[in-house]
Structures are given as structure tokens and as C-alpha cells.
Amino acid sequence: MGLLALASVCASTAQARSTSTLDRLADALTAPRAQANQFASGSTYTLCFVPDGPSCQDMIIDAINKTRSKLLIQAYSFTSAPIAKAVTEAHQRGVDVRVIVDKSQVSERYTSATFLKHAGIPVVIDKRPAIAHNKVMVFDDQAVFTGSFNFTKSAQERNAENGMLIRGDKTVVKAYSDNWHTRFEQSTAY
């Protein structure tokens, strides 16, 4: 290869790198950004910290038991028998329950996804991302639970976890509901 040809290849490579860098920069500038917002006036939040504070599992079960019309769930890992029982009981009393789980739940030896599906609750798998790491419940379009707390026995009994139940903030609830529906549309049946 002659010197002129080598210079041409180097120039093309530099241009490709420059274009690639510009494309990444443009993507970063146009990507949605997180924004700080105020909680709605009159909204409330309740916190849980295990093992050193109030039980996240008890808070979730209490919220499920108070749910009357709709319960949306996103779960990375879902093996908690008490939470699964409360979800099934909500379904039996007429609550519209729908569940999204991570693809890892397909190969788990025990998962509440199987239990819930056998109870007649629609369960789907969010397969598109590498990990669907959400731990979210939306109650009656009025409240949201979120945090590090997986819906598992280990989360309640062995791990250091946290969670927050936010009530009465329509903007927060809508954001979580919208995200749930986006993930649901990209999921497949369990």
C-alpha cells in the first residue's frame, strides 16, 4: 500500500470516528433527561427499610389488601409466597391484576410467576432489556411502591433493602403506569 493510500484510509477512519462521536453526542443531547419535581400537595409517602426498620413486605401486602380495582406489578425477582398470596387474593376479589417479570424468572426453580399464572393472572416476560430490574407496584392508579426491595423472601429476611409507597401524586403514578404499559407492550407471554 502506498503512502497516499494509507493517508486516505487514515482520513476515512478519522472521519468515521468523528461521525460516530458526533452521533453519540447528538444522542446524548436529545435523550430524555431526569428532572427534579415537587411531590403533589397532599400526597404522602411511607418508607420501609429491612432489616432495620418497618417491613417492606408488610407494607406491600397492606397496600395490596386495600386495592380495589387495578394492580400493576413489575418484578425482577418474585418468589415471596406471602406477597403472591395477597396478589392472588386481590385477583379473586375482582381486582384487575397484571404482572411483568424479568426473563430470569423463566428458569428459576420456584417463582411466583408460575403460581400467579396458574391462578389466572396475566403474566408476561420483559425480554428486551438485558435485565428488567424494576420493583414496582401501582395500586388503583392512586399509589406506587418502588425501591430496591425485590418481592422475595430473601429481600425481607436476609438483605438490606428499602422501599417507598407514594400515595396521592397523580404525576408520579402516571409516570410509573406509563412505564409499565411501555414495558408490557414489549413483553411476551409467560
Residue 180's nearest CA partner among 101, 96, 91 is 101
Instruction: Give SS3 for 16.
Output: helix
Tell me the C-alpha distance between 139 and 122, whole Å. Answer: 16
Mean pLDDT of the chain: 86
The yes-or-no answer on residue 181 being catalytic is no
Catalytic residue, candidates 103, 133, 141, 153: 133
Inform me whether the pLDDT recorded for 28 exceeds 70. no
67 vs 20: which has the higher pLDDT? 67
Catalytic residue, candidates 70, 85, 117, 140: 140
Tell me, yes or no, if the pTM score tops 0.95: no
- The mean per-residue pLDDT over the stretch 161-188 comes to 96
Task: Place 182 in a pLDDT band, splitting at 50, 70 and 90.
Answer: very high
- The mean per-residue pLDDT over the stretch 101-121 comes to 82
On the CB side of 90, CA atoms within 13 Å amount to: 29
- The mean per-residue pLDDT over the stretch 65-75 comes to 97
The yes-or-no answer on residue 140 being catalytic is yes
Catalytic residue, candidates 135, 141, 153, 174: 135
The pLDDT score that the predictor gives to residue 78 is 87
Distances (CA, A) of 42 to 39, 130, 139, 140, 167: 8, 38, 17, 17, 9
- The mean per-residue pLDDT over the stretch 54-80 comes to 95
Task: Place 11 in a pLDDT band, splitting at 50, 70 and 90.
Answer: very low
Instruction: Give SS3 for 24.
Output: helix
Range with the lowest mean pLDDT among 74-78, 80-84, 85-89, 169-173? 74-78
